[in-house]
Amino acid sequence: MTKTSESETYLAMRAGDSQACEAFVREQYEGLHRWFWSMTRCPERAADLCQETFMGFWQSLNRTIPKAPPHVWLYAIGRNLWRKDCRKRHRRYGIDREIPIEEIHDHQPAPTRHVEERELTEVLEEEVAELPADYREALTLRVWQEFGYEEIAEIQGITKDLARWRCFRARQLVQTRLKSRNVTEEDYGT
């Protein structure tokens, strides 16, 4: 989305254009849900946080004019809600271990997958889940959501250089942990 179309989309949503609002939800929901799932490891919490995030986004439309593009503003709201949810659960930005990783439903379309690919994916997800929260946030936004470093910086309230460093450090930590599990870079192509 270009800067012009992002600002046009924002203005249309702010004016109450239901088609612009629906299109925004369609474009953002799946990625936002996947991001919350990577942070919480709980499909129900991810869905609840998505709904709360969109509610917060809609409520903020008439209160403020963010400097960030709409999708970045949405994720910034989501990050704040996730952290509030973690505090409420007496965790310090941790991962919800209520559901074993083996039992979490794969929300991707289910093409027939080889057992090895599934096991490698689970190992990678486990290692990403063990990262410190700030690293995990930055890495999943960069890799799975394809956000730029400026957008990650805006969401996390940090500088672009720190966002880049967090992604770099997160990848280093994951690669080190994968090597300790005898998983090579060629297995993932990282």
Kindly report, residue by residue over 97-139, the tens digit of the pLDDT: 444 444 444 444 444 444 566 777 788 888 888 999 999 999 9
Provide the residue ranges of all domains of the chain, joining segments of one domain with +: 1-96, 111-190
Please state whether the predicted TM-score (pTM) of the whole model is above 0.75.
no
| Range 25-35 average pLDDT | 93
Select 111-190's CATH number: 3.40.50.300, 3.40.50.2300, 1.10.10.10, 1.20.140.10: 1.10.10.10
Kindly report, residue by residue over 62-95, the tens digit of the pLDDT: 787 777 888 999 999 999 998 888 887 654 444 4
**pLDDT band at residue 158, thresholds of 50, 70 and 90?**
very high
Q: For the chain, what is the HEC assignment?
A: CCHHHHHHHHHHHHCCCHHHHHHHHHHHHHHHHHHHHHHHCCHHHHHHHHHHHHHHHHHHCCCCCCCCCHHHHHHHHHHHHHHHHHHHCCCCCCCCCCCCHHHCCCCCCCCCCCHHHHHHHHHHHHHHHCCCHHHHHHHHHHHCCCCCHHHHHHHHCCCHHHHHHHHHHHHHHHHHHHHHCCCCHHHHCC
Q: Do domains 1-96 and 111-190 have the same CATH topology?
A: no
Domain 1-96 = CATH 3.90.1300.10: no
